[in-house]
Chains A and B, each alone.
Chain A
């Protein structure tokens, strides 16, 4: 993935946002629990740690805690 692709990747939502105007009273659906990116934080942290321990790459989902995952 070259730099140009990364720039386009990161800027993509900004292009979409130019014509977006969701008013506060229209945000009911966006506010629902199942619309959160991480509805269950601890379960998500658990699966992240399992994947971190068994795979060769990591990152992108947030700042994780400690733990070796050597075995």
Chain B
């Protein structure tokens, strides 16, 4: 095989590299000088504080998968922060964040006899009967599928003995928007042994509750919809801090923050229940016999004071660092909390670091919090609280509870380029019993759950003068006769940032009358795990193997084998009385294609190409369930299963793509390839579903599609 010449596209070490790499012993003086200001921790957590102005661009990227056991709540977060030095005094930071959330949320607590008579029977195998008067959670429905996007920019201005920061940003999700701005200043004294911090922040927030989630509690019995209240509130934050070096291994920092929240501070998805007449004319009230329900209400103002003490100590004999934080926070809703955090940073094997952390949090309850309320005392709700005007909530976050969390971070430091790669595994358990305040009445059932998360963080410094030019001219990049193998190409199919699409149409075929059986649109599959993927078809992750051969220099032909995995959705109330649970589906594909690479003077090699081939899509099946009179909207508890039915037949389909991308070749053997393109694929044909005793249902899903996936892979050249 012909070999490509050695390509060393190394990135020079930057002077600011001490942030990520433990300093070497033989360069103490220089590093000390460089790190004078870099050692100054700030109160700003929105970006890594670089107290000495950066001499080179920096980038940080973050991914996390967070989940809770109780509500099946999951969040995928992607965040990045880029920092550019603009002049000797100015630098600019750009931040972006994307989150995809799925799961459910607690709406209300009601006596089990009211909420869920089915629960006391045996319709759900393995479910223990719950006493009729026990307050049970009623969720907003397992229908929370939303994304949040946030962008922010920050300019830092450096003084000889200080720094000013100006930040602005915007966050949006389906039901909430936030505009925010922050001003921060730091002043250094006493040979920079003492630093004073001051900050001011303002945020304007608008909530527009999702009608679908709001309706659940109201349609549960009465079939009545409620119009969600649009809420607005603003937040002003004032912070002060002081950091003092105690000796060359130890410093202490104190922060104090005062937060004013003004406006509609209620949670639009939370509802309360009480016994007794509606003497207070509570809004959105529904009468369930002896029990009333209505929207929760909170005071229009909340003032919070938070005080944090941080002790950071370097332990020379182990080259390690010990961090301790204590926070006391209290607000005018009468919640007091104490937080203790301990972290230990231990480097090992020259370029690794391990960091265990532990956190304990405890709070007491808000003055207007209770699990249930009364206007006239009743044995139905023992230990209920008297309902007072404009103040009542059963939000578990306002109750008394405690939380114990642990996490551990493993970090690897690389040089040339200067990169820190970290992985964190975290676990936390919330329990009423962990709190310092004890309960007299029933505990809030929502406060017994655990959280898990895994996070990956990449922190890198670029060269002082960023250059993508090759150090050594090597042409061609790929030579005739070479073989390329891409063992695993991962494709994010469906990189879309718009609103949700609903692509599958369900049309009931009369009789009795189409007018009473409206056409519904739902999606059978979703993948909410990517960069805020929407619920469109083919949003699953794709995995491919490719084998390529270079017919001539820079001209490759290849063959591809792969599959796309799609996660089946639950589709509640497609056509009452039918609900669907679509099975997961895997589509297999094989393609052939060609790529042409262009030699440039840059370290990246662009290419264009095409491919085409066939797909094999197996049968698409779904579990179909009947009507559940206590769950008309949200499909939390399905009715009796009518069976598993074929939705689409198995089929051969055509697909083709125009490709483009960039290769980065590390050395003779390895390269990494990033590609995108226009992918066209056929969809399976429509089918009419005929279930005995039900109205025939025509399912349409045959609109062919063009998508723009993004793929990444490691390439091996032989």
A contact set with B: CB distance below 8 Å: 1, 6, 9-10, 12-14, 16-17, 20-48, 50-51, 54-68, 70-71
Q: Which residues of A contact B347 (CB under 8 A)?
A: 34
Is the pair B191, A21 in contact by a Cβ cutoff of 8 Å? yes
Contact with A31, one of B32, B77, B97, B244 (Cβ below 8 angstroms): B32
Is the pair A67, B46 in contact by a Cβ cutoff of 8 Å? no
Is the pair A61, B255 in contact by a Cβ cutoff of 8 Å? yes
Is the pair A65, B150 in contact by a Cβ cutoff of 8 Å? yes
A27 to B, closest residue via Cβ:
B32
Q: Which residues of B contact A63 (CB under 8 A)?
A: 43-46, 167, 182, 184, 199, 201, 237, 239
**Distance, CA A71 to CA B45, complexed state (A):** 23
Is the pair B337, A61 in contact by a Cβ cutoff of 8 Å? no
Given contact pairs A27-B36, A51-B361, enumerate 20 new A-B contacts (beta carbons under 8 Å). A20-B244, A23-B191, A29-B248, A29-B249, A30-B249, A32-B18, A32-B321, A33-B420, A38-B42, A54-B397, A55-B397, A57-B330, A59-B305, A60-B255, A61-B327, A63-B46, A65-B178, A66-B169, A67-B148, A68-B207
Is the pair A40, B457 in contact by a Cβ cutoff of 8 Å? yes
Assuming the contacts A33-B20, A36-B49, asked whether A42 and B60 have C-beta atoms less than 8 A apart, the reply is yes
Within 8 A of A (CB), among B283-308: 304-308
Q: Which residues of A contact B639 (CB under 8 A)?
A: none
Is the pair A66, B35 in contact by a Cβ cutoff of 8 Å? no
B66 at the interface (CB under 8 A from A): yes
Is the pair B267, A70 in contact by a Cβ cutoff of 8 Å? yes
Q: Which residues of A contact B104 (CB under 8 A)?
A: 71
Contact with A22, one of B44, B62, B245 (Cβ below 8 angstroms): B245
Cβ distance B398 to chain A, nearest Cβ, rounded Å: 5
Contact with A44, one of B22, B45, B169, B253 (Cβ below 8 angstroms): B45
15 pairs, CB–CB < 8 Å, chain A vs chain B: A1-B307, A13-B252, A20-B246, A29-B249, A32-B39, A42-B61, A55-B337, A65-B150, A65-B169, A67-B148, A67-B178, A68-B175, A70-B176, A71-B103, A71-B144
Is the pair A42, B331 in contact by a Cβ cutoff of 8 Å? no
Q: Which residues of B contact A62 (CB under 8 A)?
A: 42-46, 199, 239, 255
**Distance, CA A47 to CA B77, complexed state (A):** 11
Q: Which residues of B contact A1 (CB under 8 A)?
A: 305, 307, 328, 330
**Distance, CA A64 to CA B193, complexed state (A):** 27
Within 8 A of A (CB), among B328-356: 328-331, 333, 335-337, 345, 347, 353, 355
Is the pair A61, B45 in contact by a Cβ cutoff of 8 Å? yes
Assuming the contacts A9-B307, A24-B191, asked whether A30 and B35 have C-beta atoms less than 8 A apart, the reply is yes
Within 8 A of A (CB), among B455-492: 455, 457, 459
Is the pair A41, B327 in contact by a Cβ cutoff of 8 Å? no
B513 at the interface (CB under 8 A from A): no
Q: Which residues of A contact B257 (CB under 8 A)?
A: 59-60
Is the pair B239, A58 in contact by a Cβ cutoff of 8 Å? no
Is the pair A17, B193 in contact by a Cβ cutoff of 8 Å? yes
Is the pair B246, A16 in contact by a Cβ cutoff of 8 Å? yes
Contact with A66, one of B77, B203, B253 (Cβ below 8 angstroms): B203
B contact set with A: CB distance below 8 Å: 18-23, 28-29, 31-36, 38-39, 41-49, 60-62, 64, 66, 73, 77, 79-81, 97, 101, 103-105, 140, 144, 148, 150, 152, 167, 169-171, 173, 175-180, 182, 184, 190-194, 199, 201, 203, 205, 207, 237, 239-240, 242-249, 251-257, 259, 267-269, 304-310, 312, 314, 316, 320-321, 323, 327-331, 333, 335-337, 345, 347, 353, 355, 361, 363, 366, 397-399, 403, 409, 420, 422, 424, 426, 430, 451, 453, 455, 457, 459
Cβ distance A62 to chain B, nearest Cβ, rounded Å: 4
Contact with A43, one of B33, B103, B424 (Cβ below 8 angstroms): B424
Cβ distance A46 to chain B, nearest Cβ, rounded Å: 5
**Distance, CA A54 to CA B310, complexed state (A):** 23
Is the pair A65, B269 in contact by a Cβ cutoff of 8 Å? no
Is the pair B361, A55 in contact by a Cβ cutoff of 8 Å? yes
Q: Which residues of B contact A12 (CB under 8 A)?
A: 252, 254, 309
Cβ distance A48 to chain B, nearest Cβ, rounded Å: 6
Is the pair A35, B457 in contact by a Cβ cutoff of 8 Å? no
Q: Which residues of B contact A28 (CB under 8 A)?
A: 23, 28, 31-32, 35, 248
Assuming the contacts A13-B252, A60-B306, asked whether A67 and B60 have C-beta atoms less than 8 A apart, the reply is no
B101 to A, closest residue via Cβ:
A71
**Distance, CA A1 to CA B41, complexed state (A):** 26
Is the pair A61, B242 in contact by a Cβ cutoff of 8 Å? no
Is the pair B245, A20 in contact by a Cβ cutoff of 8 Å? yes
A42 to B, closest residue via Cβ:
B62
**Distance, CA A32 to CA B28, complexed state (A):** 11
Contact with B34, one of A23, A31, A36, A42 (Cβ below 8 angstroms): A31
**Distance, CA A58 to CA B178, complexed state (A):** 17
A23 to B, closest residue via Cβ:
B191
B81 to A, closest residue via Cβ:
A42
Contact with B422, one of A23, A40, A55 (Cβ below 8 angstroms): A40
Q: Which residues of B contact A32 (CB under 8 A)?
A: 18, 22-23, 35, 39, 314, 321
Q: Which residues of A contact B18 (CB under 8 A)?
A: 31-33
Q: B34, B79, B248, B327: which has the most chain A beta carbons within 10 Å? A: B248
Contact with A25, one of B23, B29, B312 (Cβ below 8 angstroms): B29
**Distance, CA A20 to CA B193, complexed state (A):** 8
**Distance, CA A4 to CA B519, complexed state (A):** 68
Contact with A56, one of B148, B176, B254, B363 (Cβ below 8 angstroms): B363
Cβ distance A10 to chain B, nearest Cβ, rounded Å: 6
Cβ distance B464 to chain A, nearest Cβ, rounded Å: 19
Cβ distance A6 to chain B, nearest Cβ, rounded Å: 7
Is the pair B269, A71 in contact by a Cβ cutoff of 8 Å? yes
B64 to A, closest residue via Cβ:
A46
Contact with A70, one of B175, B192, B409 (Cβ below 8 angstroms): B175
**Distance, CA A38 to CA B345, complexed state (A):** 12
Cβ distance A44 to chain B, nearest Cβ, rounded Å: 5
**Distance, CA A54 to CA B429, complexed state (A):** 12
Q: Which residues of A contact B38 (CB under 8 A)?
A: 31, 36
A62 to B, closest residue via Cβ:
B45
Assuming the contacts A31-B38, A59-B237, A66-B203, asked whether A41 and B48 have C-beta atoms less than 8 A apart, the reply is yes
Q: Which residues of A contact B252 (CB under 8 A)?
A: 12-13, 16
**Distance, CA A10 to CA B21, complexed state (A):** 33
**Distance, CA A68 to CA B248, complexed state (A):** 41
**Distance, CA A69 to CA B485, complexed state (A):** 45
